Amino acid sequence: MKTILGLVGGSDRDEVICRTALAAAVPLSAHLDFLHVHVSAVIAARYDGPAQFAMGSGVDNALDVLETKAKRFSKVAADHVHRFCASSKIKVGEPARNGKETTATFREEKDTTIERLIFHARHSDLVVLGRAKQTQGLSPQTLERLVKNCGRPVLVAATEAPRTLTGTVMVCWTKSANVARAVAAATPILTSAKRVVFTSIAKRNEDETEAVHDLVRRFARNGVAAEAQIIQADGGRIPNLLATAAEDCNADLIVMGAYGRSRLREIVLGSCTEVLLRDVDKPILLMH
């Protein structure tokens, strides 16, 4: 991982997003590419409740308010990134040729569609953003659509900046393609971790033990302090079991496959991804 895309919105979350991105970048000497999307009033009105129901002169007033907010978001986002780089002693400029130091850049785009965000994500090795509802005019589905379509790992920040991402990493393991992709994408971070816990929920008539232990042996051969944790389901809900396991092992980072079920099954059975994002206040690396 050499290029990390950080999405900053011009809110209090920017500091946490910047520090989460830095925690991922330092072990890898990666470049931080911070991006802010300046969403015009007309676009932002699609997702703003009061603006959606405004009529007559109220429409113009609502648009003026949204445009003022957009300009403020842009200025604050730029200020946040530059202050962060100054306080963290990060050089602002293009990536270092020697590839041995963390550098950063900041840029802004106007009215960037989700397709454009996906474009930027695909040209990066990792995407970092917050999990709270978007407030600067982007679609509320931005996180889910990025995860599902960009083909890159997405690191979702917690509410507090992490001390590290490479202390204890818990990998939520199942025998599914999206989890295998998550492990492959996270390997640069896993190989830098002090401890990696591969956690699997043993379901009825399904034996995950052999697969997990084989994975542990493979990482151990590369010098990674990996271990297996097999949890018996015993009627418990998988998201709750994983949330408890993450707390018990004091994980600094959770790695998991995302949105593996069809939309219909997610509606009927619920989404493990959404539950963990809602209930576990830790950085979570997702891969679809």
Each residue's pLDDT expressed in tens, for the chain with a length of 288 residues: 899 999 999 988 999 999 999 999 999 989 999 999 887 766 666 655 544 444 455 556 767 777 788 888 899 999 999 999 999 999 988 776 666 789 999 999 887 778 889 999 999 999 999 986 655 557 778 888 899 999 999 999 999 999 999 999 999 998 889 999 999 999 999 999 999 999 998 875 556 678 888 999 999 998 999 999 999 877 778 889 999 999 999 999 999 999 865 543 443 334 788 889 988 999 999 999
Q: Which of 93, 126, 156 lies at the terminal end of a domain, its last residue?
A: 156
Residue type at position 72: R
The range of the structural domain enclosing residue 103 comes to 3-156
Whether 53 is covered by a domain: the verdict is: yes
Q: Which of 156, 179, 196 lies at the terminal end of a domain, its last residue?
A: 156
Residues 21 and 99 in one domain: yes
Residues 10 and 147 in one domain: yes
Query: Per the structure, how many domains does the chain have?
Result: 2
Residues 134 and 10 in one domain: yes
Residues 112 and 217 in one domain: no
Whether 14 is covered by a domain: the verdict is: yes
Residues 119 and 201 in one domain: no
- Taken as a whole, the chain contains a residue count of 288
Residues 87 and 183 in one domain: no
Q: What's the pLDDT score for residue 96?
A: 67
Q: What's the pLDDT score for residue 47?
A: 59
Q: What's the pLDDT score for residue 152?
A: 95
Residue ranges of the alpha helices (H) in 110-234?
114-122, 142-149, 177-190, 209-221
Residues 11 and 138 in one domain: yes
User: Element (H or E) spanning 72, and its range?
Assistant: helix 57-87
Tell me the C-alpha distance between 128 and 243, whole Å.
21
CATH number of the domain to which 114 belongs:
3.40.50.620
Residues 102 and 228 in one domain: no
Whether 162 is covered by a domain: the verdict is: no
Q: What's the pLDDT score for residue 83?
A: 97
Residues 115 and 84 in one domain: yes
Residues 148 and 241 in one domain: no
Specify whether the CB–CB gap between 47 and 114 falls below 8 A: no
Tell me the C-alpha distance between 115 and 187, whole Å.
27
Whether 161 is covered by a domain: the verdict is: no
Q: Which of 123, 156, 189 lies at the terminal end of a domain, its last residue?
A: 156
